[in-house]
C-alpha cells in the first residue's frame, strides 16, 4: 500500500498494511525550536521558520515528512491580502493585533504569543455591528489552495487534509470577549453569547464555502474543532454545551458535508468522553487529539466504546512522555497505543497535540520509527 491507500483504509475502519502516521496540521505539527534541532539531527542544513506565528510552529518540509514516514499532506489557507503579521516591540515584548482585533504579546522569554487584549470584553449586542470583522472573502486566503489540493489528490500518494486554520468559531468568540467574561456570559448574558457565536460561525461558514468550492472535491479530511474540556472534565456542563455549542457544531458539520465527501476531524483537547455521543450525533467522524492523560480518555476504553464509530487521531502523550520521557518510554507509549487502539483500523498516530519546544529530537524520531515498526498488520 502507498500512504493514500493506507490512510483511506484506516479512516474507513479497515486494517491497512500499517497504522498511518501524521504530522503537519494546525494541531498536529511541531514547534520551530524542536524542528530546528530535528533538522540538525537529520543532517539537514536548513533553518526552521515558524509557519504559525501564534503558536510558533512549522509546516514540515517534504524531505522530513518522507524520512518520518508520514502518510498525510496538508492544504493550508493562503495569506490575507488585508492583514499582515507585523509585531511591534514594546517594553513587555512583541505585540501584535490580529485580523479580528485581538491583541497578543510574546515576552522575550516566552515560546508563544498570548492573548492579552479582547476587543469585545465590554461590548453589547448592538456593538457587534460596529466591530471591524475580518473579511471571509479576502482573496488572499484562496491563494494556492486549489492548486495544492488538486496536485496532492491527482498524485494519489498521500491522505489530503484541509487545515484551514482561521482558529475556530467557538475559541474565537471567547478570545474576542475574554475567556472569563465569555464563560460568565453563558449564564448571565446568554443573548450576547448567542449573538457572538452566530457571528463567528457565519464568518467561518462563509470562508469554508469559498474554500470548499475550489478544493472540496480533493480532500479526504477537513479539520474543525474547539477545545471543550480540561484535564479532569468539560469546561462547561453538558447542558450548556448542548445549548450553545452542539447546535452550531451540527450546523457547520452539515454545511461541510453538503460540499465535500471529506470526513470531519474534530479537535478538542481534554476530557471529552462525556460528549462523544453528542459528537457522533452531529456528524463527527474523527476525534483528535485523544488526550490520553485526561480523565476518561484512555485509548483502550475509548476504542471499546466508540471504535466502530469514531476514528482516533493522535494518542501519543505530549504532557509527560514526549517532553520528559526516555526514548524507551516513547517506544512503550507507541506500543501501548497500537495495542489498545489499533485493531480494526480507525487509528492515525501522532502526538496528542503539537510537539512542543521542550521535546527532545530523539523522542520525535522514536515516535515515528517505532510506529512504523510496530504498527504493521496483523498486529502482534
Beta strand extents in the chain (DSSP E only): 30-31, 57-58, 72-76, 88-90, 93-97, 103-106, 114-117, 159-163, 221-225, 263-267, 286-288, 311-316, 347-351
Residue whose grid cell is 479530511: 221
3 state SS of 270: coil
Residue whose grid cell is 483528535: 288
Evaluate whether residue 94 is within a structural domain: no
Beta strand extents in 77-158 (DSSP E only): 88-90, 93-97, 103-106, 114-117
Q: Give 58's strand partners.
A: 30
What's the structural domain count of the chain?
1
pLDDT at 353: 96
Sign of CA pseudo-dihedral 126, 132, 137, 141 = negative
The Cα 237–Cα 242 span in angstroms is 9
Question: How far are the Cα atoms of 14, 57, 91, 115 from residue 107, in angstroms, in the given order?
Answer: 47, 17, 9, 12
- Domain housing 202: 3-81+122-374
* DSSP secondary structure letter of residue 258: T
Evaluate whether residue 281 is within a structural domain: yes
Evaluate whether residue 13 is within a structural domain: yes
Strands 103-106 and 114-117, sheet pairing:
antiparallel
pLDDT at 49: 85
Evaluate whether residue 260 is within a structural domain: yes
Torsion of CA 162, 163, 166, 167, to 10 degrees: 130
Evaluate whether residue 32 is within a structural domain: yes
The CATH number linked to 61 is 3.20.20.210
The Cα 332–Cα 335 span in angstroms is 5
Question: How far are the Cα atoms of 161, 218, 262 from residue 155, in angstroms, in the given order?
Answer: 14, 11, 17
Cβ count within 10 A of residue 110: 12
Evaluate whether residue 164 is within a structural domain: yes
Evaluate whether residue 87 is within a structural domain: no
Query: What is the layout of strands, in order, in the sheet containing 93-97?
Result: 88-90, 93-97, 103-106, 114-117
For the chain (380 residues), the mean pLDDT of every run of 10, in chain order, is: 99 99 96 97 93 93 98 97 96 97 96 97 99 98 98 99 90 98 99 99 98 99 97 98 99 98 98 99 98 98 98 98 99 99 99 98 99 96
Evaluate whether residue 90 is within a structural domain: no
Q: What are phi and psi of 228, to 5 degrees?
A: -120, 5
Amino acid at each position: 500500500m502507498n500512504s493514500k491507500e493506507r490512510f483511506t483504509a484506516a479512516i474507513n475502519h479497515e486494517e491497512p498494511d500499517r497504522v498511518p502516521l501524521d504530522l503537519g496540521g494546525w494541531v498536529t505539527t511541531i514547534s520551530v525550536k524542536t524542528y530546528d534541532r530535528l533538522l540538525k539531527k537529520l543532517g539537514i542544513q536548513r533553518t526552521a521558520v515558524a509557519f504559525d506565528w501564534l503558536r510558533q510552529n512549522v509546516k514540515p518540509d517534504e524531505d522530513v515528512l518522507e524520512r518520518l514516514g508520514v502518510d498525510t499532506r496538508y492544504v493550508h489557507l493562503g495569506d490575507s491580502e488585508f492583514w499582515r503579521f507585523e509585531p511591534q516591540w514594546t517594553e513587555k515584548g512583541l505585540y501584535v493585533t490580529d485580523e479580528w482585533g485581538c491583541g497578543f504579546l510574546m515576552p522575550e522569554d516566552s515560546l508563544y504569543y498570548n492573548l492579552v487584549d479582547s476587543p469585545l470584553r465590554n461590548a453589547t449586542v448592538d456593538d457587534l455591528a460596529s466591530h471591524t470583522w475580518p473579511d471571509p472573502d479576502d482573496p488572499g486566503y484562496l491563494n494556492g489552495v486549489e492548486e495544492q489540493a488538486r496536485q496532492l489528490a491527482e498524485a494519489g500518494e498521500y491522505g489530503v487534509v484541509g487545515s484551514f486554520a482561521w482558529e475556530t468559531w467557538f475559541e474565537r468568540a471567547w478570545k474576542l470577549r475574554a475567556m472569563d467574561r465569555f464563560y460568565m456570559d453563558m449564564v448571565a448574558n446568554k443573548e450576547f453569547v448567542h449573538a457572538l457565536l452566530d457571528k463567528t460561525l457565519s464568518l467561518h461558514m462563509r470562508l469554508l464555502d469559498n474554500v470548499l468550492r475550489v478544493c472540496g472535491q480533493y480532500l479526504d479530511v477537513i479539520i474543525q474543532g474547539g477545545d471543550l474540556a480540561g484535564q479532569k472534565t468539560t469546561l462547561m456542563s453538558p447542558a450548556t454545551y448542548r445549548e450553545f455549542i452542539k447546535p452550531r457544531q451540527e450546523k457547520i458539520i452539515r454545511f461541510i458535508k453538503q460540499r465535500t465527501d471529506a470526513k470531519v476531524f474534530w479537535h478538542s483537547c481534554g476530557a471529552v468522553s462525556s460528549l462523544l455521543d453528542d459528537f457522533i450525533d452531529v456528524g463527527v467522524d474523527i476525534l483528535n487529539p485523544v488526550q490520553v492523560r485526561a480523565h476518561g480518555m484512555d485509548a483502550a476504553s475509548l476504542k471499546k466504546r466508540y471504535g466502530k464509530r469514531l476514528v482516533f487521531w493522535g494518542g501519543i502523550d505530549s504532557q509527560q512522555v514526549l517532553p520528559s520521557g526516555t526514548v524507551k518510554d516513547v517506544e512503550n507509549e507507541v506500543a501501548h497505543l497500537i495495542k489498545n487502539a489499533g485493531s480494526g483500523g480507525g487509528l492515525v498516530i501522532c502526538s496528542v497535540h503539537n510537539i512542543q519546544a521542550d521535546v527532545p529530537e530523539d523522542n520525535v524520531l522514536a515516535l515515528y520509527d517505532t510506529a512504523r515498526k510496530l504498527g504493521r498488520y496483523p498486529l502482534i
